[in-house]
Amino acid sequence: MRVGINASFLRKPSTGIGQVTRHFLEELSKNPDVVSKPEGEDVEFIVYLEEALPAGLRLSSRFSVRAFLPFLWKRDDLIRKMLWEKVSLPRRAKADGCDVLLSLYQSATVAPKGTRHVMLVHDIIPRIFPEYLNNSRKRTYQRLIEAAIKKADKIAVVSAYTRNDLVAQLGIMSRDVSVCYVDVDPLFRKSVSIGRAHDVMRKYHLHPGYIYLGGGLEKRKNAEGLLYAYAALLKTNKKQEFIHDMPKLVISGKLMPELAPLIVDVEALVKQLNLTGQVKILGFVPQEELPALYKQALFFVFPSLYEGFGLPVLEAMSQGTPVLTSHTTSLPEVGADTVMYCDPSDVSDMARALRKLLLDKEYRAALGARGKVRSQEFSWGKFAKRIARMV
């Protein structure tokens, strides 16, 4: 029995899909027999990539790797992506005699005849936010993705909310979609040493006890809303002085103002709101430094308007950091009753929640402790087994 795996996102390790791809392969490599198979047969896995297997990723002898580009198209753009998913990958899977093709993200791939296709869908964000489809190539690609999702033999999703989106937006039957919750990178499970925390604080010229916003600067992540709420809180504090020394707001994320309005130009907005002295913008932060940033924060804020899952919330919870997040989309599935919620579209509600967390030390401590316990309910082992059963 041959199982082909579209692991293209291994080349983008900093993305959520990249992390899911890597950790699924690692778990499957440890326990390949979780895949159901005909009696008396072994299972062979073929990993399909657009680049070489990343350094440090070790797979068992059951795995072989095929790295190739479509028609020697080397430029990493949407055209190459469509050609690889729509043409080259199905051809390779057919040539290799794959009985099953597993796509670890929503793609434009339609499996060749005789090959069962299992697709993991993380979200359908462009369908919800049409501004992401701002040219004909993106619109074409989204149409191909939606058509491929409908043709897949089995569909997995990372949250019940994404399943509901597939039902409402694409007309897929709920019973045909399985929810498979993902987990965080194991480095977020490890305790941050005093020395490591000190090194990260020194690198970014920070002091512990700040309010932290991370997880990206796309418009839907709502950094703009938080900045307005924080500015309103500062204004109220000047009148009432409910807190003597207002913690700074620390923001991480790749700065790409040229992509506005899809990306929030936080630097320009900070200046516009006269927050330069109170907001620290870090830019891109390597993943290995994020646990220390979470750990040293007074609390973490993630006011996203839409998430297929919400990995940053689970990352913060894993470090025992109190979390304030949106009561919308998939986020309550992650945080349950262990985080504080707000309305991400209501600046005054966000300001109220920020004030509550700033003033209530015992509440913060309770959230941090409960969140850490809750985070342990998620695991890559559970995720890999659920996906493998569908194969």
DSSP 27-61: HHHH-GGGS---TT---EEEEEESSPPPTT----T
Q: Are residues 233 and 215 in the same domain?
A: yes
Q: Is residue 221 assigned to a domain?
A: yes
Residue 93 shares a structural domain with residue 174: yes
pLDDT digits (tens, 9 = 90+) for 17-52: 999 999 999 999 999 988 877 777 889 999 999 999
Q: What band does 64 get if pLDDT is binned at 50, 70 and 90?
A: very high
Predicted pLDDT of residue 6: 98
The amino acid occupying position 112 is: P
In this structure, is residue 146 part of a structural domain?
yes
pLDDT in tens, 231-287: 999 999 999 989 999 999 999 999 988 787 789 999 999 999 999 999 999 999 999
Give the separation between CA 294 and CA 322, rounded to whole angstroms.
9
Whether residue 358 sits in one domain with residue 247: yes
For 176, the domain range is 2-180
| Domain end position, chosen among 152, 180, 208 | 180
pLDDT tens digits along 103-157: 999 999 999 999 999 999 999 999 999 999 999 999 999 999 999 999 999 999 9
Residues 22 and 155 in one domain: yes
Q: What is the largest CA-CA distance in the chain?
A: 76
**Residues 203 and 247 reside in one and the same domain:** yes
Q: Averaged over 325-330, what is the pLDDT?
A: 98
- Strands 297-302 and 279-283, by their bridges, are unpaired
> 367 and 228 in one domain?
yes
Residue 256 and residue 324 in one domain = yes
Per-residue confidence (pLDDT) for residue 73, from 0 to 100: 76
272 and 135 share one domain: no
Q: Are residues 173 and 191 in the same domain?
A: no
Q: Is residue 190 domain-shared with residue 162, that is, in the same domain?
A: no
- pLDDT attached to residue 72: 74
**Looking at residue 212, which CATH number applies to its domain?**
3.40.50.2000
CB atoms within 10 A of CB 153: 14
**What is the tally of structural domains in the chain?**
2
In this prediction, residues 73-101 reach a mean pLDDT of 94
Spatial distance between the Cα atoms of 238 and 300, rounded to a whole number of angstroms: 23
Report yes or no on whether pTM surpasses 0.85.
Answer: yes
The DSSP result for 255-287, as a single string, is --GGGTTTB--HHHHHHHTT-TTTEEEEE---G
Q: State the Cα–Cα distance between residues 379 and 182, nearest whole angstrom.
A: 7
Same domain, residue pair 112 and 243:
no
Positive or negative, the Cα torsion across 312, 318, 319, 321? positive
